Amino acid sequence: MAEPAKPLTMDTIVSLCRRRGFVFPSSEIYGGLGSTYDYGHYGVLMKSNIRALWFRAMVQERDDIVALDSAIILNPRVWEASGHVAGFTDPLVDCRTCKLRFRADQLELASCGRKPSKRPGETPDCDLTEPRQFNLMFETHVGALQDESSTAYLRPETAQGIFVNFKNVAQLARRKPPFGIAQVGKSFRNEITPGNFLFRLREFEQMEMEFFVPPADADAWYRYWIDARRRWYLDLGLRGQNLRIREHGADERSHYSLATSDLEYLYPIGWQELEGVANRGEYDLTQHTRESGTKLEWIDQDGTRYTPYVIEPAVSIDRIMLAFLCDAYDEEVVGDRERVVLRLHPRVAPVKAAILPLVPRDEGMAGRARELYEELRRHYVVEHDESGQIGRRYRRQDEIGTPWAFTVDEQTLEDETVTVRDRDSLAQERLPISGVREWLDDALERAWSSPHSG
């Protein structure tokens, strides 16, 4: 396969997402809102595949993890107990010259407001203030009164909703440690340095799993989850050379963490955290026990009591989606034409197959293609496309990552076979139209690895 001619930039991904309706800037007709995006049709399909694949690996295919969907706005005392009201802050600096705000610990990733090529603080013109702490939680008010007593927060993580439900779930789920609770839902952070597309959003969809274990086993489970999460990405086709594990040093860890490792992906902006796996110890259950007065502990059948330790893999669908899109993006010249192709794992791809009549105005072909489409769409997200030349229709599907196209042609009308075209190899084979559904079932079960070596 041809190597991409130039290094991938975030702008290339942003423009593909926009052109093909994966993701748009939010409320764009009013000038947008910083770091908030809306997902269009293909974006929604891809997101829901990622969510379903995570849920399948974390809940459906395991005996030891149950699901939860807690509220976004919790009693504000939850966030006092968790330490977020006092400490969920980033160091902020203002530039008196360009009037922009930056995260003091990430100046090397930011662009100066006056000279986009320069980093803030690089030239004597930049006049940065001393860093001060800025709380990232969005505040709101619950009820009709807007005073201090009605202040509440949009959750900055889904994890706390799990901890405060520990007792409910442990009793009802009839599980004993080690067991986990998984949750997927929106989280909100008033990020200081937005930008970088889906990487850092103010509103994002988190997928977190809190795994409660006997303290003595915590380190082994921490290693287990780092490895399991790494394998999940590789099984879904992320290229190994773009994924690495980085263990945090003691000075870098959050206050609650006994150990943290990031699964980092090589985004166009460099190596950055895709997912974090942390050993949170007994911090959260102990804090909520102290502040709520409800004992969040485990009592074994022999009466031994202990506070379980928590191992947490935490990620957002948005960061996964960005990693998959960057990893999949490829440009190559086929014949004398250039094509853009998203080499997504078939299970991640928004559309599983396209059904195309070779000559749309031929009633026989159009009718057969429509029938096949109507049969397949009962099982999978598939598309039927009759507009334009066949080459152009193939390229439209390549650009959204559709792994296979079934084409109904003249021969179909004679012998009831269609061609299947493979997105990656461009190989075509014929198969009976009656066997297409089964062929697709098998193809989606097969292991897949990226042919993209760039």
The contact set with ligand ATP (CB under 6 A) reads 157, 189, 191, 200-201, 204, 206, 273, 275-276, 314-316, 318-319
Which lies closer to ligand ATP via its Cβ, residue 204 or residue 324? 204
Cβ contact 55:48 at 8 Å: no
How far is the C-alpha of 238 from the C-alpha of 342, rounded, in Å? 12
What is the closest distance, in whole angstroms, from the C-beta atom of residue 89 to ligand ATP in the complex? 11
- Minimum distance of ligand ATP from residue 344's CB (angstroms): 19
Where are any strands of DSSP class E within 282-362? 298-299, 305-306, 309-316, 329-334, 337-342, 353-357
Closest contact distance (angstroms) between CB of 318 and ligand ATP is 5
Measured distance CA(40)–CA(48) in Å, rounded: 12
Q: What is the DSSP secondary-structure string of 134-158?
A: EE-PPEEE-SS--SGGGEEEB-S-S
Lookup: tokens for 167: 């007792």
Q: Provide, rounded to whole angstroms, the least separation between the CB of residue 13 and ligand ATP.
A: 15
C-beta of residue 355 within 8 angstroms of C-beta of residue 376: yes
The rounded distance, in Å, linking the Cα atoms of 331 and 242 is 18
Short-list 360, 371, 432, 446, CA closest to 403: 446
How far is it, in rounded angstroms, from Cα 140 to Cα 124?
40
Whichever of 70 and 397 has its CB closer to ligand ATP, that residue is 70
Q: Nearest approach, Cβ of 269 to ligand ATP (angstroms)?
A: 11
Q: Which lies closer to ligand ATP via its Cβ, residue 13 or residue 341?
A: 13
Nearer to ligand ATP by Cβ, of 177 and 276: the residue is 276
Query: 């001060």: which residue's tokens?
Result: 132
Residue nearest to ligand ATP (CB): 316
Q: How far is the CB of 276 from ligand ATP (least distance, A)?
A: 4
Residue closer to ligand ATP, measured from CB, 230 or 352: 230
- Name which of 135 and 417 has its Cβ closer to ligand ATP: 135
Residue 184, H or E segment: strand 179-188
CB of 105 to ligand ATP, least distance (A): 9
Closer Cβ to ligand ATP, 211 or 448, answer by number: 211
State the CB neighbour count (10 A cutoff) for residue 254: 14
- With respect to ligand ATP, which residue has the nearer C-beta, 157 or 210? 157
CB-CB contact of 43 with 321 (8 Å): yes
110: left (phi over 0), alpha (psi -120 to 50) or beta: beta
Query: Closest separation between CB of residue 365 and ligand ATP, Å?
Result: 45
Cβ distance to ligand ATP smaller for residue 275 or 385: 275
Tell me which H or E stretch contains 265. Answer: strand 259-267
Instruction: Work out how close the CB of 21 gets to ligand ATP at its nearest, in angstroms, rounded to a whole number.
Output: 21
